[in-house]
């Protein structure tokens, strides 16, 4: 008997393999017995960090995002390389994107980014005890760093100045921790 909640894969076909994402189409049997397809973006694990300085400012990044044809104010984030530990990836990304490393990383949460169509799982960290330490940025990133007082974050989210889901989630987790 089929599990009433499971979609059994009948066929899986890779339709695109890229640098960041692979795309596949799975034919699945629904619990009702009917067949349908699922388009799935295979993406490696990722990390995002709330870098909080000694004055309770969040080091955020502003960057242009082609899919939305606009820039976003976000917390630093990036991919976990094959064989890399998420904490190591978080420290590397902090250095690449904001020019700091953290003395302390606290795991805030882990979550599926867009489980309706992607395999990406993200680890969110609070990064404190910041000290300058930079690595070369990725060649295809054009990032500017902005310090945002943590006390203004909730208002900025409500006003639509921070619109990125990972940033909203991790910043609200940080605010909850601090209150």
Active site residues: 141
Distance from C-alpha of 175 to C-alpha of 151, rounded to nearest angstrom: 8
Scan for tokens 């799975």, then name that residue. 26
Q: How far apart are CA 58 and CA 72, in angstroms?
A: 15
CA distance 93 to 84: 12
Between CA 90 and CA 99, with CA 96 as vertex, the angle to 5 degrees is: 100
Contact 49, 100 (CB under 8 A): no
Contact by Cβ (8 Å): 166, 75: yes
Tokens (6 digits) for 43: 């993406």
């Amino acid at each position: 008997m089929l599990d009433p909640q499971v979609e059994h894969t009948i066929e899986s076909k890779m339709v695109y393999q890229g640098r960041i994402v692979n795309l596949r189409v799975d034919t699945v049997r629904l619990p009702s017995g009917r067949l349908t397809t699922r388009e799935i973006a295979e993406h490696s694990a990722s990390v995002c960090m709330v870098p909080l300085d000694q004055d309770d400012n969040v080091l955020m990044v502003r960057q242009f995002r082609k899919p939305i044809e606009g820039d976003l104010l976000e917390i630093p984030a990036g991919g976990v390389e094959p064989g890399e530990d998420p904490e190591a990836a978080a420290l590397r990304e902090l250095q690449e994107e904001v020019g700091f490393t953290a003395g302390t990383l606290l795991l805030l949460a882990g979550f599926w980014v867009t489980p309706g169509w992607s395999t990406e799982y993200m680890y969110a960290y609070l990064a404190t005890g910041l000290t300058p330490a930079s690595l070369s940025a990725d060649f295809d990133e054009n990032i500017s760093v902005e310090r945002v007082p943590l006390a203004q974050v909730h208002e900025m989210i409500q006003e639509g100045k921070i619109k990125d889901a990972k940033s909203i989630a991790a910043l609200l987790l940080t605010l909850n921790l601090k209150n």
